[in-house]
Structure 1
Amino acid sequence: MPLDKNRRHRRYRFPVRRGPRFRIATHRHGYARPAPHAAHHSFRAMASKKKLSLEHWISYRFGLVASRTGAVMSARYVAPHDLPMPAWRSLAVIARFGPLSAGELGERTSSDPFRVVRAIDLLVKRGLITRNPDPSDRRRARLELTSAGRAVYEEIVQGAIANEKFIRAGLTAQEIRLLESMLDRIDAQVQALSAGLSGPPEADDL
């Protein structure tokens, strides 16, 4: 019995899975892709479930950069003066913003009170800073550099500036301005987070 002409040319389709996308197989035309809008929604759904890897965390990258630059500073310029890095940071901040109280020093170095006190005690013992009562408020001490502290600071800061110039040499002037603007915005976000103005995002949102 001869086959019906229309039936003979009819295409038979059956589902075939190829990875994350669904395709249709035919015996005449190979594979037919799904509609563009369907694929778009599928990829968006997959992307929303993707987690942010550790190496892409801003805080993780900042920590690495700070740790590596600090190691270079310590080995080349700070260690020869027998100073730990927290003491050097305190010395540099007092040189830039002094006179300061212990509380103001802690805020500008983002250090806990215990480390601030240890750094101050060491710098005073070494004769690099003075700790005298504040004339305007006798309840707090005023921290200032001595002449010896200024000399040590000026010697170490030359190495810090050399490091900074080397790092900046990898960026254009426009990139540096953009980076500084972005750092200001990130710092504002961190301060808001620290102040409890906004809660951290859910892990599934990253």
Structure 2
Amino acid sequence: MTEHAPLKLERFLPYRLSILSNTVSQAIAREYQQEFGLSMTEWRVMAVLARFEPLSAREVAEHTAMDKVAVSRALSRLVDAGRVDRERHDGDRRRSVLRLSEEGWRVHDAVAPRARKHEREMLAQLTTEEIDVLARILDKLAPV
């Protein structure tokens, strides 16, 4: 008989980070899903485009650290909904350049303040020193 050594998930850092991320993301996601019909992936794509546009689909996937197929599907839905404009790159017809459309910016500008509010509410549970330490730890573990 072999001995089993199950992970103590409640103490396992990747699991805890995943739970935290999902909890925080889902709180705001319910709001923008109901009001704008946006998925979490679509919002993340829009947020990245707002920050770094213009980008190719590959660059969006790199910035979000999400699966290329999920990003591609989200981009297709956003283009179909008129929230992202897709243009062909001058030098390479196979490459698209993506930007938020006017409608995309309207949605972004409605959702972003809510996301910031959720962040403020979550961080309000920490002291200023704890926030600084958390930021330094995150920068070490997941440099952007």
- TM-score normalised over the length of structure 1: 0.63
Q: Which moved more, 1:97-106 or 1:166-175?
A: 166-175
Of the three residues 163, 167, 172, the one matched with 2:118 is: 163
Which of the two has greater strand per residue?
A: 1
Q: Summarize the alignment of residues 26-175 of structure 1 with structure 2, pairs less than 5 Å apart.
A: 53-175=8-130
Determine if contact 1:77/1:159 at 8 Å carries over to the other structure. Answer: no
Report Cα offsets for 1:159-186 as digits up to 9, x if no partner: 1011011011111222111111101111
Report Cα offsets for 1:181-204 as digits up to 9, x if no partner: 10111125xx9xxxxxxxxxxxxx
Structure 2 residue runs without a partner (length 5+): none
Is the aligned partner of 1:186 residue 2:109? no
User: Aligned pair in 2 of structure 1 residues 78, 96: CA closer, same or farther (>3 Å)?
Assistant: farther
Runs of 4+ residues deviating >3 angstroms: 136-139
Report Cα offsets for 1:55-96 as digits up to 9, x if no partner: 111111111011111221111233310111111111111111
Deviation at 1:99, TM superposition (A): 0.8
User: Aligned pair in 2 of structure 1 residues 177, 137: CA closer, same or farther (>3 Å)?
Assistant: farther
Report Cα offsets for 1:97-144 as digits up to 9, x if no partner: 111111110011111121111001000000001111123544311110
Q: How many residues align?
A: 140
Percentage of pairs with the same residue:
34
SS in 1 for 2:99: strand
Deviation at 1:52, TM superposition (A): 6.2
- TM-score normalised over the length of structure 2: 0.89
Instruction: Pick 1 or 2: higher relative contact order, CA cutoff 8 A, min separation 6.
Output: 2
AA in 2 matched with 1:146: S
Higher-Rg member (1/2): 1
Which of the two has greater helix per residue?
A: 2
Determine if contact 1:78/1:156 at 8 Å carries over to the other structure. Answer: no
Determine if contact 2:82/2:101 at 8 Å carries over to the other structure. Answer: yes
Structure 1 residue runs without a partner (length 5+): 1-49, 192-206
**RMSD of aligned alpha carbons:** 1.9
Task: Provide the rounded CA distance (Å) in 1 between the counterparts of 2:99 and 2:139.
Answer: 28
Determine if contact 2:32/2:38 at 8 Å carries over to the other structure. Answer: no
